[in-house]
């Protein structure tokens, strides 16, 4: 093996103080020349997806030492989007992605680590870790901790987090279910450790991490409570030492082809709309040009092959049993580009190794769920720089819709109106000043979207926002409207009663107001006072970019 990064703190008489400090941690002389492997762990007692990580840490550490390296743990924070939802806490969720990338960069560079195992699971933590891997470009491998199992009920009922908490809350409010059933939902919705059971953001990002080639085979879908996940953790510890010795780094894996493959898998499964933000940001760190329009270009030729919860019937445990990511790649084989992965196999070699696919869960291209992929990029005079809709969760009836605007300056105001019965069929709910700058932090709004569905308005009311949605969102909900209201985007100029037209097949989002009238409104518009003026979020709002560029932080 050639010179290691860690030689800068272990070699030569000038490094006597450094070695003394390392010995102070308990490092023996026998490990001084081994590859130093950092294990960035986002373990926390606060998030169900992360509570099981202590065991995975043990297996990763065993693998590192078996492979001939020496492991060092360091902690990375995590936010549970479900717990942060619907209050001030959600302002902090997306911004933590930047903090996570910065923290990993800081620790790895300050301590000259030779390689990293990135132990992650939930929504912003996985993309933050991938951003750090691409930025550092030192050997890295990602271990996603895996999804939880569905809850079980009578007569084969399966419970899951979003439909049996957020949507159940609205059904209770509407009198569809009673308090006893609501409490059953609360008890059974999250029965084990792991990320939430459907194809929400955490699980979508785990799948895309494997598709990108940054985690071992099966890691993206293996259940958090499975022994397979432990074996993958051990093998990942062994593999990182090999990656260091062979100097295989993320930018060799994260090519334009890798990102296009990941987008196609995302589209085929009908994944979370948040992946648009995250893939754009990871690509930027990897030095790959990935414009927003790529999602729509690929979506036109990538069929949706799976019916995944929350918009469909299957859960992560079903996808795992059906063959996982490899099965999806196999079904998309004629659309997938060959690309290296850190497993040592190329994508086409992985496809060639697939022996069986459960086609009830992952359909063949010849028998798709829908002809187009799960995400669509819309544009028009209401969203000149684009907007995102998870069309896999939209009914055929709502693919084209025209309604009257009901404008709200915050998520809280919209929720008050929804729960008070003030939103009716034919309305288009507009929630603005919730973008990256205006929020700040581009809050995820699962509560309003789940409330719409729970109140039975999913086929008669649309929702449009410069904020974003949970991966658990379904229905005619259009997010990431760019430019956002806080910078004077057209969404800031909408008034109650304006007609808004949604045409997903033609990728159009239009405000039916004359340009002259809009110009008059713009002349009257003034930038509102920031919602948060102190602390980290005030600094974030000053440097964050628009959603159509991934909501990244730039100093210039």
- 43 sits in the region (left: phi over 0; alpha: psi -120 to 50; else beta) called beta
Architecture of the domain spanning 376-549: 3-Layer(bba) Sandwich (3.50)
Which CATH number is associated with domain 34-149+192-352? 3.40.50.2300
Task: Tell me phi and psi for residue 282, to 5 degrees.
Answer: -65, -40
pLDDT one-digit tens code per residue, 17-63: 999 999 999 999 999 999 999 999 999 999 999 999 999 999 999 99
pLDDT one-digit tens code per residue, 313-365: 999 999 999 999 999 999 999 999 999 999 999 999 999 999 999 999 999 99
pLDDT band of 310, cuts 50, 70, 90: confident
Looking at the predicted structure, is the pLDDT value of residue 454 above 90? no
As annotated, the residues of the chain forming the CATH 3.50.30.80 domain(s) are 376-549
pLDDT band of 410, cuts 50, 70, 90: very high
% of the chain surpassing 90 pLDDT: 88
Task: Tell me phi and psi for residue 41, to 5 degrees.
Answer: -115, 135
Mean predicted confidence (pLDDT) in 267-291: 96
Active centre residues (catalytic): 470
pLDDT recorded at residue 556: 62
Looking at the predicted structure, is the pLDDT value of residue 449 above 90? no
% of the chain surpassing 70 pLDDT: 99
Q: H or E stretch including 130?
A: helix 125-136
Annotated binding site: 81, 123-124, 444
pLDDT band of 268, cuts 50, 70, 90: very high
What is the C-alpha separation between 470 and 81, in angstroms, rounded?
8
Annotated binding site for Mg(2+): 81, 123-124, 444
Mean of per-residue pLDDT scores for the chain: 95
Mean predicted confidence (pLDDT) in 198-222: 97
Of the ranges 52-66, 271-285, 422-436, 447-461, which one carries the lowest mean pLDDT score?
447-461
- Give the pTM: 0.95
pLDDT recorded at residue 130: 98
pLDDT band of 1, cuts 50, 70, 90: low
As annotated, the residues of the chain forming the CATH 3.40.50.2300 domain(s) are 34-149+192-352
pLDDT recorded at residue 459: 93
Looking at the predicted structure, is the pLDDT value of residue 104 above 70? yes
Looking at the predicted structure, is the pLDDT value of residue 475 above 90? no
Nearest Cα residue to 550 out of 318, 371, 351, 288: 288
Looking at the predicted structure, is the pLDDT value of residue 111 above 80? yes
What is the C-alpha separation between 434 and 419, in angstroms, rounded?
20
């Amino acid at each position: 093996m050639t010179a290691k990064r860690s030689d800068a703190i272990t070699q030569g008489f000038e490094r006597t103080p450094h070695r003394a400090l390392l010995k102070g941690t308990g490092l023996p002389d026998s490990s001084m020349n081994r590859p130093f492997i950092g294990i960035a762990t986002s373990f926390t007692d606060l998030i169900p997806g992360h509570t099981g990580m202590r065991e995975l840490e043990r297996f990763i550490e065993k693998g590192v030492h078996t492979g001939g390296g020496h492991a060092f743990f360091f902690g990375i924070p995590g936010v549970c989007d479900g717990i942060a939802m619907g209050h001030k806490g959600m302002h902090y969720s997306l911004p933590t992605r930047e903090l996570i990338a910065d923290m990993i960069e800081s620790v790895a560079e300050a301590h000259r680590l030779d390689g990293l195992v990135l132990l992650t699971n939930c929504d912003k933590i996985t993309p933050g870790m991938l951003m750090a891997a691409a930025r550092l470009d030192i050997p890295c491998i990602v271990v996603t901790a895996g999804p939880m199992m569905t809850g079980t009920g009578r007569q084969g009922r399966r419970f899951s987090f979003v439909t049996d908490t957020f949507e159940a809350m609205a059904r209770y409010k509407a009198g569809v279910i009673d308090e006893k059933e609501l409490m059953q939902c609360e008890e059974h919705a999250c029965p084990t450790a792991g990320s939430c059971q459907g194809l929400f953001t955490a699980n979508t990002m785990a799948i895309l991490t494997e598709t990108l080639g940054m985690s071992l085979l099966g890691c993206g879908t293996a259940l958090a409570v499975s022994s397979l996940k432990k074996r993958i953790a051990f093998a990942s510890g062994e593999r990182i030492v090999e990656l260091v010795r062979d100097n295989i780094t993320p930018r060799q894996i994260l090519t334009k082809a890798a990102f296009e493959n990941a987008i196609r898998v995302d589209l085929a499964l009908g994944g979370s709309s948040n992946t648009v933000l995250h893939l754009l940001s990871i690509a930027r760190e990897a030095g790959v040009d990935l414009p927003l329009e790529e999602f729509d270009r690929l979506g036109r030729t990538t069929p949706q092959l799976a019916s995944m919860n929350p918009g469909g019937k299957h859960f992560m445990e079903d996808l795992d049993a059906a063959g996982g990511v490899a099965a999806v790649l196999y079904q998309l084989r004629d659309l997938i580009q060959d690309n290296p992965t850190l497993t040592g196999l190329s994508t086409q070699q992985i496809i060639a190794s697939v022996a069986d696919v459960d086609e009830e869960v992952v359909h063949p291209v010849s028998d798709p769920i829908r002809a187009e992929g799960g995400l669509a990029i819309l544009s028009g005079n209401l969203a000149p720089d684009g907007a995102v809709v998870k069309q896999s969760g939209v009914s055929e009836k709502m693919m084209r819709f025209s309604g009257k605007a009901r404008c709200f300056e915050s998520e809280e105001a919209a929720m008050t109106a929804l729960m008070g019965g003030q939103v009716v069929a034919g309305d288009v709910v507009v929630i603005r000043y919730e973008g990256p700058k205006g929020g700040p932090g581009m809050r995820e709004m699962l509560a309003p979207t789940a409330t719409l569905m729970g109140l039975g308005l999913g086929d008669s009311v649309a929702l449009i926002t410069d904020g974003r949605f949970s991966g658990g969102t379904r229905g005619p909900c259009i997010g990431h409207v760019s430019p956002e209201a806080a910078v004077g985007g057209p969404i800031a100029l909408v008034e109650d009663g304006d007609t808004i037209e949604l045409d997903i097949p033609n990728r159009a989002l239009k405000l039916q107001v004359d340009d002259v009238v809009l110009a008059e409104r713009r002349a009257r518009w003034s930038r509102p006072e920031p919602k948060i003026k102190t602390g980290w979020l005030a600094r974030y709002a000053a440097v964050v970019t628009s959603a159509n560029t991934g909501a990244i932080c730039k100093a210039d």
